[in-house]
Copies of this chain bind each other. A is one copy, B any other.
Amino acid sequence: MKKNIVDIQTKLQALLLTQHDNYLQGAVADYIPALAKVKPDLMGISVATIDGKHVGAGDYQRTFSIQSISKIFGLVMAMNRMGDSLWQRVKMEPSGQPFNSIIQLEWEKGIPRNPVINAGALLISDVLTTHYSSSKLAFLTFIRNLAGNDAIRVDNQVYQSELTHGNRNAALAYLMKSFDNIEAEIPKVLSHYFTQCSVAMSCQQLAQSLLFLANKGVDPKSKKVICSPKDAHRVNAILSTSGMYDQSGEFAFSVGLPAKSGVGGGLIAIVPNYGVICTWSPPLNEYGNSVVGMNLVAGIAEELGLSIYH
């Protein structure tokens, strides 16, 4: 039985202490200068539950670049817009490849394996670009409403950096377009995609904004239906098999929660019927996942008995 989070504040503090030096085992993403300059020893953690509680520790109120965690929000928006026809343009299978692999995209004739690898998220960006008159504003509005915070913004320095270093993503997008699986102009698709990635949020904001996935699609704060119960289920399933890049299997094996990481060092885990955990620590392991973040989520999941595989 999952434990209540009342009084686990002390536990979170203790957990952070155990990770004191572990950030040294990873390396901050350095493919763009804007990410490379983030201080490596920052770390934060938030746990929000569907009954309205929240506890946090460390730098949980400091914003960071959410990067690939944004893929969840984009995916939900696209599912809402396109319904089941979305799944003719992107699959929901684990990739068994690095997140930015172009090889599999060629084999599968421009159909991305799932919406949380880069190719899939670019496909989703195409859907949003095509279905919204202003997809970037729609994306920001969606997140702001979920987090209940209108101050959430795009980090323009990160955005510009991403644009300058976006050649591989451009290659993925053009390859999909050559298979007629991208409708919009590529620069527009990339611009949306990098905007998504460059949103800055805190652990607390992320945990609060994703509670609907733990609550069958309903935001427990506003009682609004964000997506259908079926789609909340589907997103959790995709995150379980594919959310942690090419370490997804190991994360399921050792932790056992639907989760998504970003190269900004963020990591969120959904606990169905319970709540959301969000951690942040910039240094990444070889797979692109936060070293300390994985330890923290593992620690809490074990402490509170949260795994879905028990």
What residues of chain A have their CB less than 8 Å away from a CB belonging to chain B?
Answer: 91-97, 101-104, 106-107, 113-114, 167-168, 170-175, 177-178, 186, 216, 229, 232-234, 236-238, 240-242, 246-250, 252-254, 256, 258, 272-273, 307-310
Q: CB within 8 A of A310: which of B172, B175, B233?
A: B233
7 A-B residue pairs with Cβ-Cβ distance under 8 Å, sorted by A, are A93-B246, A96-B96, A167-B175, A167-B178, A216-B310, A232-B310, A233-B307
Chain B contacts of A242 at CB under 8 A?
94, 249
Taking a contact as CB atoms under 8 Å apart, the answer to whether A258 and B106 are in contact is no
Q: What's the least CB distance linking A270 to chain B, in Å?
A: 9
Chain B contacts of A95 at CB under 8 A?
94, 96
Q: What's the least CB distance linking A188 to chain B, in Å?
A: 14
Given the known inter-chain contacts A171-B178, A174-B168, A233-B256, please indicate yes or no for A247 contacting B309, CB distance below 8 A.
no
Chain B contacts of A249 at CB under 8 A?
91-94, 113-114, 237-238, 241-242
Q: So how many copies of this chain end up in the complex?
A: 4
Q: CB within 8 A of A229: which of B91, B114, B173, B310?
A: B310
Chain B contacts of A91 at CB under 8 A?
249-250
Given the known inter-chain contacts A96-B94, A113-B96, please indicate yes or no for A171 contacting B175, CB distance below 8 A.
yes
**Chain B, residue nearest A272 (CB):** B310
Chain B contacts of A168 at CB under 8 A?
174-175, 178
Taking a contact as CB atoms under 8 Å apart, the answer to whether B170 and A174 are in contact is yes
